[in-house]
Structure 1
Amino acid sequence: MIRLENISKQNGKQIVFIEASAALQKGEKIGLVGPNGAGKTTLFRLITGEEAPDEGQVSIDRGITIGYFSQDVGEMAGMSVVSAVMDGAGPVSSVAAELAALEAAMADPDRADEMEEIVLRYGEVQGRFEELDGYALDGRAREVLDGLGFSPAMVEGDVGALSGGWKMRVALARILLMAPDAMLLDEPSNHLDIESLIWLEEFLKGYEGALLMTSHDRSFMNRIVGKIVEIDGGSLTTYSGDYEFYQQQRALSEKQQQAQFERQQAMLAKEIAFIERFKARASHAAQVQSRVKKLDKIERVEPPKRRQTVKFEFQPAPRSGDDVAGLKGVAKRYGEKVIYDGFDFQIRRRERWCVMGVNGAGKSTLLKLVTGTSEPDSGIVTLGAGVKLGYFAQHSMELLDGERTVFETLEDAFPQANQGSLRALAGCFGFSGDDVEKRCRVLSGGEKARLVMALMLYDPPNFLVLDEPTNHLDIATKEMLIEALAAFEGTMLFVSHDRHFLAALSNRVLELTPEGVHAYGGGYTEYVARTGQEAPGLRH
């Protein structure tokens, strides 16, 4: 269906592709992976024709429809959410728009003299609308929006009033409703809660077209794709299998390449030693000459490209008392909406609570109450003796001073620290070389999240409260964070929609449901085994 043949592409000084080839066949579901900045978005733009390769060609079979979801959402204000979604559904949406305009014209007394032509045209357009199964479109749009977490009130509301995250969901719903022959999805799992993520997973598994997608959520990708295309160092390499299998294959081929490289290096060292030893002796001149020629002809084995992996280790945190935090008889409401009423909850040392519940159940509210960023309407919230709190929230990223550089931000926070240790800290969180001189205002969402993490973890707290800490983080940084937090000796309370993160780090689950609050001993994996569901909002 879609073929990239020997493409080369350069953006400014950066070489993105060198004679790279890959293909997307009918019905295939492919995960696109590679380090940040490797060219994943450029690849999508080459396929959609927004950019052209410098060399080589992108060929697409005739008549193939392509739907592209990117993080760059256009303006959609002035229409309801459901209309905005139907508006993106291809030809049927323009027919629906004409139908609506004709209906308005028929109700307009000023156009009474044109009524005959309007009614005639209405009959023609209505016939075309039925042909395109337009009357089912509204129902299908609402079904998709429901799956992506929209309430009935939101579906009728103005799309312009939504936050950036919800607008992303509208843009995603448009592509899903369009059901093109090939879907290109750039990070569709961002901004989704766990219930919507699982719904999308099922939707994409049942989708019959071809799919090429990137995602920082390895569980999500593992369950959908049957092939991986990796972008690295300008080339495209295709692996059969899911993300897990790709990781194993990549590690294996790296190991083999390293062994090959070492064997060749040992052989070359031997040959060079012989040449050096005998080059001055006339009696060995012919042998030396023949070995020099042999060395010139040998094709050198390259060492495997080392992915820059960062490791972060906690300084030991001071020990807290056994009772870390407690809520007693807590009530909290927003307007008419009661979030908590007479709520009791106790967190003890070294417990790692993950908080689960549908949108609006009160997950972030609980974290705000525990950290003191929100006051209860009644009841008491206490922190235990010796508790040193570290709180990561989505708004933490907005508090960075845009004019300060990454390094200046770290220096401001830790004036006593020496430059070497701050540079090492920056490196652990993916800011190497000149990256530390970037001003905070130009940082991407992922870079801001990493900087806030670095600020929080350098002088370690013994009680970590994390609200969606993995939003914006790529798979490699998530792995680093999971590894670091697994070794953390303190206490944790967190909300996350990343199932790999939940399974790796939780040892308690607090489930918030309309029927009440349920606490489960054992982590997320045990919770799934006991309830038979991956999230509370899926229980029917």
Structure 2
Amino acid sequence: MIRLDSIGKQNGKQIVFIEASATLLKGEKVGLVGPNGAGKTTLFRLITGEEAPDEGQVSVDRGITIGYFSQDVGEMAGQTVLAAVMDGAGPVSTIAAELRELEAAMVDPDRAHEMDAIIERYGEVQGRFEELDGYSLEGRAAEVLAGLGFSQEMIDGDVGKLSGGWKMRVALARILLMRPDVMLLDEPSNHLDIESLIWLEAFLKNFDGALMMTSHDRAFMNRIVNKVIEIDAGTLTSYSGDYEFYAQQRALADKQQQAQFERQQAMLAKEIAFIERFKARASHAAQVQSRVKKLDKIERVEPPRRRQTVAFEFQPAPRSGEDVVSLKNVHKSYGARRIYDGLDFHVRRRERWAVMGVNGAGKSTLLKLVTGATEPDGGSVALGGSVKMAYFAQHAMEVLDGERTVFQALEDAFPQAAQGSLRSLAGCFGFSGDDVEKRCRVLSGGEKARLVMAKMLYDPPNFLVLDEPTNHLDIATKEMLIAALANYEGTMLFVSHDRHFLAALSNRVLELTPDGIHQYGGGYTEYVARTGQEAPGLRN
């Protein structure tokens, strides 16, 4: 369906692709992986024709329709959510618009003399509309929107009043409704809650066209893809299998290459030592010359490229008392909407609570009550003795001073810390070299999240409260965070839609449902085994 043959591409001074080749065939579901800035979005743009390669060729089979979802959704306003989705559904929406125009023309007395031509055209267009299953379009649009978490009130509401995250979902719904031959999805799992993620997972598994996608959600990627294409240093390498298989093969290949490199280095050292030892002796001149020529001809093995992975270790946190936080008979409402009505909840030392519930169930509200960011309408919230708390909230990224650099932001937070210590901290969280001089206003969402996390964890708290800490983080940074938090000795209360994060770190689950609040001993994996569902909103 789509072939990239010996592609070369350069953006300014950066070489993105060098003689890179890959294919996307019907039925393939491809995960596109590579470090940030490797060229994943550029590859999508080459396939859609938004950019042209400097060398090589991109071939797309004739008649193939391509649906491309990117993070840049553009302006949306003046329509209902349902109308906006139906309008973006590709050829079928264009034909629907022509049908409406023809229907208006049929009842226009000024166009009576054209009626035969209008009726003939209407028949042609109607036939094509039926072929594309156009009469079920509205029903399918409503089904896709419901799957992505839209309430009926939102579906009927103005798309222009939605937040950026919900507009992303509208743009994604357009592509899903379009049902193109090829879907290109750039981070479709961003901004989705766990119920919507699981619905999208099932939708994409059942999609019979070709799919190429990027995602920072390891579990999501692993369940959908049957092939991985890796972008690394300008080349494209294909692996048959899911993401887990790719990760294993990549690690194995690196290990083998490292062993080859070390063997060759040992051999070269031995040869060079012989040459240095005997080069001045006439009796060994022939042997020395022979070995010099041999060394010149040897093709050098490169060491495996080190991925820029970050590693962070907690300093020991001061020990808290056994009782970390206690909520007794807590009531909380927003206007007429009651969130909590007599909530009792207790967190003890070294417990790791994952809070789960559908949108609007009160997950973030619970975290705000615990941290004192909001007050209960009734009841009490009390922190235990010697509790040193840190709170990661989504708005924490918005209050970074845009004019301060990354390094200055760390200095402001820890004025007594040595410069070397802060540079080491910055490096752990992916800010190496000149990155520490970037101003906060130019940082990406992921970079801001990493900076906030670095500020939180340098002077370690013994109680971590985290609201969607993995949003915007790439897979490598998530793995670093999981590894660091797995060794953390303190207490945790967190909300996350990342199932890998939930499974790795929780040892308790608090489930918020319309039927009541349920507490489960054991972590997320045990919760799934006991309930038979991966999220509360999927209950039958």
TM-score bracket for this pair, using the shorter chain length: over 0.9
Q: Quick one: distance in 2 between partners of 1:103 and 1:161?
A: 31
Q: Does the CA contact (< 8 Å) of 1:33 and 1:228 recur in 2?
A: yes
Q: Deviations over 1:267-311 (max 9, x none)?
A: 111111111111111111111111111111111111111112211
Partner of residue 414, structure 1: 414
Partner of residue 485, structure 1: 485
Q: Does the CA contact (< 8 Å) of 1:331 and 1:378 recur in 2?
A: yes
Q: Deviations over 1:107-165 (max 9, x none)?
A: 9xxx6655786898475455553343211000011111111000011111111110000
Are 1:57 and 2:54 matched, yes or no? no
Are 1:245 and 2:245 matched, yes or no? yes
Deviation at residue 438 of structure 1 after TM alignment: 0.3
Partner of residue 85, structure 2: 85
Partner of residue 445, structure 2: 445
Q: Quick one: distance in 2 between partners of 1:14 and 1:228?
A: 24
Q: Does the CA contact (< 8 Å) of 1:352 and 1:492 recur in 2?
A: yes
Q: Deviations over 1:463-521 (max 9, x none)?
A: 11100000000000000000111111111000000000000000000000000000000
Partner of residue 156, structure 1: 156
| SS of match in other structure, 2:398 | helix
Are 1:38 and 2:33 matched, yes or no? no
RMSD: 1.6
Partner of residue 464, structure 2: 464
Partner of residue 254, structure 2: 254
| SS of match in other structure, 1:399 | coil
Q: Percent identity?
A: 83
Partner of residue 536, structure 1: 536
Q: Quick one: distance in 1 between partners of 2:48 and 2:220?
A: 24
Partner of residue 140, structure 1: 140
Q: Are residues 281 and 223 of structure 1, via their aligned partners in 2, closer, same or farther at CA, if it must alter by over 3 Å?
A: same
Q: Does the CA contact (< 8 Å) of 1:228 and 1:243 recur in 2?
A: yes
Partner of residue 455, structure 2: 455
Q: Counterparts of 1:495-506 in structure 2 under 5 Å? A: 495-506=495-506
| SS of match in other structure, 1:430 | coil
Q: Quick one: distance in 2 between partners of 1:167 and 1:361?
A: 21
| SS of match in other structure, 2:530 | helix
Q: Quick one: distance in 1 between partners of 2:350 and 2:116?
A: 72
Q: With structure 2 as the length reference, what TM-score do the two structures score? A: 0.97
Partner of residue 324, structure 1: 324
Q: Are residues 328 and 249 of structure 1, via their aligned partners in 2, closer, same or farther at CA, if it must alter by over 3 Å?
A: same
Are 1:341 and 2:345 matched, yes or no? no
Partner of residue 191, structure 2: 191
Are 1:433 and 2:433 matched, yes or no? yes
Partner of residue 287, structure 1: 287
Partner of residue 14, structure 2: 14
Q: Quick one: distance in 2 between partners of 1:127 and 1:265?
A: 70
Deviation at residue 98 of structure 1 after TM alignment: 3.6
Deviation at residue 338 of structure 1 after TM alignment: 1.0
Q: Quick one: distance in 1 between partners of 2:27 and 2:462?
A: 49
Q: Does the CA contact (< 8 Å) of 1:86 and 1:93 recur in 2?
A: yes
Q: Deviations over 1:405-460 (max 9, x none)?
A: 10010001110011000000000000000000000010000000000000111111
Query: Which range is displaced more, 424-433 or 84-93?
Result: 84-93
Q: Which runs of 5+ in 2 are unaligned?
A: none
Aligned length: 537
| SS of match in other structure, 2:415 | coil
Q: Which runs of 5+ in 1 are unaligned?
A: none
Partner of residue 315, structure 1: 315
Q: Quick one: distance in 2 between partners of 1:118 and 1:233?
A: 62
Q: Quick one: distance in 2 between partners of 1:407 and 1:261?
A: 36
Q: With structure 1 as the length reference, what TM-score do the two structures score? A: 0.97
Query: Which range is displaced more, 91-100 or 279-288?
Result: 91-100
Q: Which amino acid aligns with 1:70?
A: S
| SS of match in other structure, 2:170 | helix
Partner of residue 516, structure 2: 516
Q: Does the CA contact (< 8 Å) of 1:30 and 1:225 recur in 2?
A: yes
Query: Which range is displaced more, 318-327 or 196-205?
Result: 318-327
Q: Does the CA contact (< 8 Å) of 1:106 and 1:119 recur in 2?
A: no
Q: Are residues 119 and 87 of structure 1, via their aligned partners in 2, closer, same or farther at CA, if it must alter by over 3 Å?
A: farther
